[in-house]
Each structure stands twice: as structure tokens, then as C-alpha cells.
Chains A and B, each alone.
Chain A
Amino acid sequence: MSWIVRMIVVLPALAGLLGLVMHRRRLVAAAVAVSVSAYVMVLGLIQWVAPARAADIDSLGSLPLGGGLAVPLHLLSDRVSGLVSFVVALVVLAIQVFTVWYLRDDPRYGRFAATVSLFAAGMLLLVQAGDLVLMLVGWEIMGWCSWLLIGHDSERPAARRAAYKAFLVTRVADIGMVVGLVALAVRAGSTDLMAVLTASGHDTALTVGLVGVLVGVAGKSGLVPFHDWLPDAMEGPTPASALIHAATMVAAGTYLVARLFTLYAEHDGARLLLAVLAALTMVYAAVLALVQTDIKRMLAYSTLSQIAIMLSALAAAPAELGPGAGLSHLLGHAFFKALLFLAAGWLSVLGGATALAALRGRLRPTGALRWATGIGLASLAGVPPLVGFFSKDTVIDAALEGTGAGSVVVTIALLLTVALTAAYCTRAWLLLDTPLAVVPPTGTAAGPAAGAADPAPGSAAASPAVSPAASPAVSPVAQPDPVVPAEQVAVVTVADSADDAEVERVHAHGHAPITLSAALVVSVLAVLTVVATLFLASLRGGVHVGVLTALVSLLLVAGAAAAVWVAGDRGRSDVADRVPGPLRDRAVRGFGADTAYVGIGRAVTALARLVVTLDRDVVDAYPRATAVVARAAGRVGERSHRAVPSLSLLGLLGGVVVIAILGVTAWR
């Protein structure tokens, strides 16, 4: 059994290395990436299905640190890690297959595939880790790889900026993570997960550890106040977005908290903090998702909301229920979010854009894609037979069973979010599916987005060659001051396409008919979204739907969908256009969170400059002054030295004699 666990971690890393070596040979790189992903998926399946025992602990060989700290580097294999690693490997395989088609014209495909493999290795290491150090290693590998993936189109300033933003924001939050893990390890005297979970005493270290880990989780999982990097991360290629959002980096925080669940269940303060953050994030992100103009950014905000739902399950569920509810939503979300992102990527290739305005009605003529998108959105909204319904209701049920202030906050936020999620899913479906020919010109309803909608009918109905006409028509409205350097401005522009690289690619190469394998992957994911509930049944507390909660959430979903249906005039107009223009503009830009980040960064830089200035101009002034004085004295001495030799001799001997006279008279 243990060799399987090791292979699951090591193989993707080796594939990443091999892919990096072979990155110029496209076929080899693709073969390595896909075959290793498939193999790892099979291994994950075996690990999930096979274990006879409850948990299987294996060690990579302990780290002899001394100092009373044991670092055994255990790998922990149980049913949870088996299931999660299987799902992760499955999603990674789907993404690898899809990427072969999606990045068909990208000269740097090999590097991308290798990075995805390494990313998967990081996530699988985190999943299999039974040791805080290994968890941290996987965590950091993912952080670094996300920087590489988001910044894949590094020739575009927006992508570079998004990559740096993601890296810096998560890095700042990782300070909390490192501090937290260190505190937990110090408390237990060991980094072994079991020892950490069973350690007792040291309440301060426990609080610091749990809150610190929460801060790190908030950074990677995009809880408020760290949420703004995630929508910007849409600058990466769509498969990278799918990878980051579906099952890996963003969800890793949930997995980590679930692993530490017994500690959190005992600590009300940390749980309350988590509950408040999660509740805030899920409602806020769902509201923002409702008004987004870009399908990828909408999906990004929905991810924020869904991750907050997972974490809220962990924050509110009673201790005896365990982390099953959160984990089941993690797994269900992995399926349908991967499906939605890959479908969005497919759609963007067809439509030549990712802006909703440009994609209106593009779904109608497609077959499998329409079905897949429909299933994905329905699952996201929580329509009954799909996995989204079960996992979400399990979370609601767990929150209802919880006690304390946290569970109340979470329950209210969950119900709100259910309605909002249904609303934005309905809006997206209506916008994408309603044929444009029926849409009457909406006129100058409100805001720049409405202006963007105007040229859309003509361009979308025509060939994609027309759609660049839509983008320039929109961009001047939304562009910030052009004098500002590109690196300084927020990348968000209303009705702008997030994945510009893909748009350019489509414009440069035209449509590429989707390959059978890529289409097959999307279809398989769609099927899995339907049947994945069976997977969750194997998880303790994975599916637990009460009748009452199911009824309530069904009513909420139906009501919200109907409201959007009516308000949007059966999809003939965009619901979000009813929001006043300036407000919507600001909402699309995330209410200035980016500016706040820049402000914080500037403040820190200014502080650092101040410290440097103090150090250089005040503290160092004294040593440098001695140097200056010594140098000046040396100059003076040198000048006076440079005299006529005979005169110098005269002066020298005169001085000697004078000193001798003084000495002799004094001696007398």
C-alpha cells in the first residue's frame, strides 16, 4: 500500500521534471503529462478503494533536527486522502487532456504541462501528508506553481501583474500559515499530524496556531480580505484556472482545515473567525458574481463563494459530525467547477472572447457543450439530482446541527448564498443560451456594459473576425487613465475579456475544431457531475440531506431562478444591467480591493524605505563620518607631505631635536 502512496506523490513530480527537460518536443511532453496523470489517477482509485485498515502511516524517513522537535515526515493514507487524491488526479487528467487541445498553438505548451504536473505533485503531497512540514512543502509548491501558471502568457503585462498579485497576496497570508504550523508543532513537540491532533495544553500556542493556519487558508482560498487575487488569476490560460479553482490550490485550504478539524472543533474563537470570514465571503462573492461581465470572472467569484461554503461547513458542523460535509462539497465542487471552466474554455474558443456580451447566444447551436454547460450550471445552482445539490444541502444540514453563534451566521449566509447562486447561474445560462436574433436592442439602458451589449448582436452573429470590433468599442469606456503605467492599474475592465491570450490566439489562428479527446473529457466530467454523489456516499458524513433543508433550498433555488427569469425578460436582457452603471462598474472591479492592496504594498514599501533611510542616513552616518574624517585627514597629511625633500628633512630633524630637548630637560 505504501508504495502506491509514494508513487502518487513522486510520479507527478518526476513527470514535471521530465516535461521540463522535454518541453521543446511537444508530443513527448503531452504523452508524458497525460500518461502519468492517467497512471496517478488509477493509483488514486486503488488507494481509495483498497484500504482495508482505517489509516496507513508511512514515513519518508524522519528529519533529524534535534532540539526536542520530531519531524517524522509521515505520509498518512486513509479513505479521505484516497478519495481526494483520486478526484484531484482525475481533474488533473481531464485538464491535461483538455490542455493538449486548448494550447495547441502555444509554443510553450511543454512548460505549461510540466508546471501542471508539478502543481499536481504539490497538491497530492498535501493530500497524502501526515506531517505539517510536508503539508507546508506541498502548500508552497502550489503557491509557486500558481505564479507560473497565472503568468503563463508572460508577454502580457496584465498576466504578469495578476501572477505577481496572486503570489504576493498568498505569500503575505502564508506568513500566518508558517507561524501557525510552527506554533502547532511547538505545542506538540512534533510535526506529526497525529501528535499535533492529540497534543494537549498550551492554549496560547493552540490559538496562535489555529488562527495562523486560518490566515494562510484565507490567503490561498481567497477569503475576505485576501479574495481579490482570485478573479485576477483569470489572466492565466483557462486550464490553469480550472486547475487552480477546481480541486487544487484553492480547495487545499479546506482540506488542511479538515485535517485539523478536531482541533478547530474544540476551539470556539478560531471557529467563529472562520465562520464570519466564510459567511462574509460567500455572500459578497455571490453578489459580485451576479454582476460580472466576463464568464471567467463570474466563475472565479462563484469559486470564492463555493470555497467559503466548504469552509463554513467546517466552521459550523458539530464536532461529532466530522469534516465530512466540507470535504464532500470540496469533491462535488471539483467536478462541476472543472467542468464549467473547461466548458468556458471551449466556449471562448468558439466565441473568440470570454466576455458575456460577446458570448450571448453562442451555446444554442452547440450540442455537447450546451449540455455540459447546462449540467455544470445546474449543479452549481443546486438542482436536485446533481452532485451540487447533495453536497450543498449536506453543508446546510451540518450548519443547522451546529450550535453557537458561528453556525447561526453561517446558516443565514448559506441560505442567502443558495438563492444568489441560483440567480447568477440562471443569468449566465439565459445570457449564453438565448438566441440573439430575438433580442431587441436594449438601447442605452445603463452603464458601459449596456453600451457593450449594443454592438454585440452584430458581432456575435457574424464570424469572430468581427468581434475585435466589439472589444475596441468597449475598451475606451472602461480603460483607466492611459497615462498610468500598465503595471500599476487594476487589470479589470468592464466587458473586457479576462483570457486575452486565448482571444488573440483565436484571432490569429481562427477556430480549431475541438478534438474528440477534449470533447470526451468535458462529457465525462459532465457525467461525473451527475453520478459523483455515489463517490461521496463512501465518505463519513459525506451525504446527509434533511427533508426540511432540501425543501427550503429547493424553494430558494426555484424562486431565485424564476425571479431572474422574469426580471431578465426570459433572457432577452441582462439582469445585471438593472444595476446602476457606476455601482456596477465598481462591483466589477471588486470595489477597489486591488487599490487597497496596492495601497498596503505602497505603505509597506514606504515603511521599508523609511527604515533604510534611517539606517543609512542616521545610524550609518557615524561610521561613515569617521571614514570621511580619516580620509580628509589623510588628504591633508598627503598634501603637507608633498614638499621639497630637503625642507622636509629640515623640518623632520628640527622636530626631532626639539622633542629631544624637551625630553632631556624634562628628564633632568
Chain B
Amino acid sequence: MTTRDIVFVAVGVVTALSALLSVTTKHVVHAALWLLVSLGSLAGAYLVLGQELVGLVQLLVYVGAIVVLVLFALMLTRAPIGPHAEIDTPWWQRAAGAVLGAATTALLASLLLPLLSGATVDLDAPAATTPRIAQAVFGTWVWPFELLSVLLLVALVGAFAVSRLVLHREDPAADGAVRRAEGVRR
């Protein structure tokens, strides 16, 4: 049990607890906020593991962008403020979910713990420093990296297109009003 072990256990407990809270809380907005905490502390776990670049990207992208997006989505879908019992599925589905979640945990643990049981790593001389990661990204992984940028563009355009779909069923009167307004604008 080294110092890093202890720090990791602390950060990991925070991560796991906040994750658990984020999936069990009755407040819709709190779920997103607990997710924020969980992801942030996971960034800390990355730091403890010696991957400061990954941890920073985790902070930037996940905490800075994705959670904000989730919050926006919650607001745009008129999420209720305050505790709300209706955000959960029926009890038997939750029970099944708990069983499946426990099974997943047990499976992964039974697989990973024996695999990693004796493994230790000396992080004072880390194998993957940031310069080396940068070399790998722009050397070995340069084509997947470029493909990723294309993927991001496609996702951007796709999200834009999907979100602007107008459905007839939605509200004929409002639709008509929109059309009339457009007609006036024309």
C-alpha cells in the first residue's frame, strides 16, 4: 500500500459514490451534477495514474463540454426541478437493472482482478509521457486521428440536421403560424 494507492482509493471512492448517486438521485438536475463530480474525480484518478494529458482532456471535454450539453438537454426537455419520482423505471425493472449491474461488476472484477492482481507500475518513471503520446498521436496514429476529425464534422452536421427536423404531428397550428410568419418574412 503506497501513497499513490491511498490517494487512488480516495479518489476512486469519490468517483464511485458520485456515480452511484448520479444514477439513483431523484433530482433530475442533480443527476447531471453528480455526473460532473464523478467525471471530475475520474480525471483525478487519471492524474494519480500518471496520465496528466488524459486527465486534462477528460476535464476539458467531459466536464467542460459534455456535462454542459447534458444540462442544456435537460433544460430544453423541460426537466422538472426538485425531487421527482417519475424519473425512474418501475421497481422490477430497477431490480433487474441492479442484478445486471451487479453481474457486470462481478464479471469484470472476476476478470480484471486476477489479471491485474500482482501488477504494479512505478510511476516515477512513467512509460507514456506527454511528449511520447504526442509523437504517437501524430506518428503511429495519425490516420485514425484525421478520421476522427471527419467523424466530428459528420456528427456536427448530423446533429444539426436531426435537430432541425420539423414534424407535422407536433402542432399543426403552431406550424401554420410559423409558415405564416415565414410568408410574411418572404
Contacts and interface: CB of A to CB of B under 8 A. Distances in A.
Let me know if chains A and B touch directly in the complex, using CB atoms closer than 8 Å: yes
Contact of B96 (A650, A660, A664): A650
Contact of A660 (B93, B97, B107): B107
A666 to B, nearest CB: 13
Contacts of B136: none
Interface in B74-104: 89, 93, 96-97, 100, 103-104
Contacts of B89: 646
B110 A657 contact: no
Interface string A642-661: 00001100100110010011
Given A646-B89, A646-B93, A664 B110 contact: yes
B77 to A, nearest CB: 15
B104 A657 contact: yes
Interface string A630-651: 0000000000000000110010
B152 interface: no
Contacts of B103: 657, 661
B121 interface: no
Interface in B130-144: none
The B contact surface, by secondary structure, is helix
B119 interface: no
Contacts of B107: 657, 660-661, 664
B96 to A, nearest CB: 6
B101 to A, nearest CB: 9
A650 B93 contact: yes
Nearest to B111: A664
Interface residues on B, range: 10 to 19
Contacts of A661: 103, 107
B13 to A, nearest CB: 25
Contacts of A664: 107, 110-111
Nearest to A667: B111
B93 A654 contact: no
B104 A650 contact: no
A654 B93 CA distance: 11
A653 B93 CA distance: 12
Nearest to B106: A661
A650 B111 CA distance: 23
Interface string B137-167: 0000000000000000000000000000000
Interface of B: 89, 93, 96-97, 100, 103-104, 107, 110-111
21 contacts: A646-B89, A646-B93, A647-B93, A650-B93, A650-B96, A650-B97, A650-B100, A653-B100, A654-B96, A654-B100, A657-B100, A657-B103, A657-B104, A657-B107, A660-B104, A660-B107, A661-B103, A661-B107, A664-B107, A664-B110, A664-B111
Closest 5 CB pairs of A and B: A657-B103, A646-B89, A657-B100, A660-B107, A653-B100
Given A650-B93, A664-B107, 12 more contacts: A646-B89, A646-B93, A650-B96, A654-B100, A657-B103, A657-B104, A657-B107, A660-B107, A661-B103, A661-B107, A664-B110, A664-B111
